Amino acid sequence: MGWAEINIMIMNKLPVIFAGLLFSAITAFGQEPIDVTEQTIKLGGMQEEELYYGFAAGDKIIFSFRETGGQEIKEVEITEYPGNSRFSAYKTSHVDNKTITVSTQGVYIFRIKNSALAGRVCLIKIQRVPVSGDTRNFNTAVTWEMRPDTTYSTCTREAVIGYDTSYIQKTKKELVKTEISEDIIADKTERVHSRNNLQHKNYSILPVSLPQNEVTPFMTKTVRSWAYWIGVGKEASEAWLKNVNIIKNIASGASVILGGSPLAGIAIGTLATLAMPSMGEDVAYWFIPDYANARLFMEDKDFVQFDSGKGIAAYGKNTDRTQGTFYIGLLNDNQVQGIDVNVKISVILETKYYEDKPYQEISLTPRYGKKAFSEPVIRTVKVPVAGK
């Protein structure tokens, strides 16, 4: 018998076969199933066929199969994509009204495999019974989409598997003490002659060298600030003694004041004012930054200065210029009277003392060994999608 005669016989028998199947489905579920597909499949020798259809959640799948000549087929299988087998039958010639309940929307694969050398002709009927009217018109056709698919490849390589902990003895410098002290670097009385003195000039300069900052491995000494007192004659000396007595009577305040000079209090800011004379001869003074400008002062030319004043007595502080040598220029404008000018400079020093303190430093040494790693491998695959 040829394929043409077989097809004619199949077409004549289909209404009888599937009428019985349909009647069984209606009786089983109480409602009319919806046809998904009803077709004849011709399988060559050693061939298989796969049909893909989508189903809604809650659907009941009704599957029927016949080999038209009553010959066995090696395998009939229904799989929920991608690989969850829901039904399989081996060496069978028919499957009648196999029912599968769909839990979640997805794609199902209907696979028929022929292991014989001769061809086979199979009648396939797939129906669905929707769970409600909402999914009655569900589209069972499958669309194919390209989607990323991640798999993991396991490999073994050398890696850190732990750490060994050790303790290293070290030392570091720590500040252990800070001292504030006073250093009186100038206390000098300078004679400045009158303007009419034929043998001497009526101006004078005094050099002042500030202490250099010191840095050693365990000590630093820094000039923080300095203060000055410039006073003329007996009146200024008496005012200075009053200031000294005031300091001696102070019962509280910074320790540098106690036993220190009045200028220490001015330099560190714990004293705001000093007692001043009310009468006496005065002097003009300038603080000159370097020797070149000191020479211009002596030559009665224009010069640069960073502080100046005039009076029987004067005082002040400086925190900007703390290193090097500068000059104090003094000028007596009295026509006949020479003056004795007392200049005092008091420097505030901050001394910090350090010591080497021992401490432990944690050292972590990595241990290496073989370790398994799972690495992602991403590729694009074509997957069936239901319900589009």
- 70-92 pLDDT, tens digit per residue, is 999 999 999 999 999 999 999 99
Closest CA to 63 of 87, 29, 42, 43: 87
The answer to whether 338 and 332 have CB atoms below 8 angstroms apart is yes
| Both tokens assigned to 100 | 């599968």
3-class DSSP assignment, residue 268? helix
Per-domain boundaries in the chain = 3-141, 171-355
Encode pLDDT of 236-288 as tens digits. 999 999 999 888 776 444 444 445 789 999 998 888 899 999 999 999 999 99
Q: What CATH superfamily is the domain 171-355?
A: GOLD domain (2.60.120.680)
- Confidence at residue 259, expressed as pLDDT on a 0 to 100 scale: 54
Please give the distance of CA 89 from its chain centroid, rounded to a whole number: 61
CB-side exposure of 151: number of CA atoms within 13 Å? 5
Q: Name the 3-class secondary structure at 219.
A: strand
Q: Looking at residues 13-21, what average pLDDT do you find?
A: 43
Tell me whether the CATH fold assigned to 3-141 matches the one assigned to 171-355.
yes
Give CATH for domain 3-141: 2.60.120.380
Q: Please, which pLDDT band fits residue 377 given cuts at 50, 70 and 90?
A: confident
In tens, the pLDDT along 30-64 reads 468 999 999 999 999 999 999 999 999 999 999 99
193: left (phi over 0), alpha (psi -120 to 50) or beta: beta
Asked if residue 199 lies in contact with residue 350, where contact means CB atoms within 8 angstroms, the answer is no
Average pLDDT, the chain: 89
Tell me which residue of 345, 344, 337, 341 sits closest to 190, measured CA to CA: 341
Q: Calculate mean pLDDT across residues 12-23.
A: 43
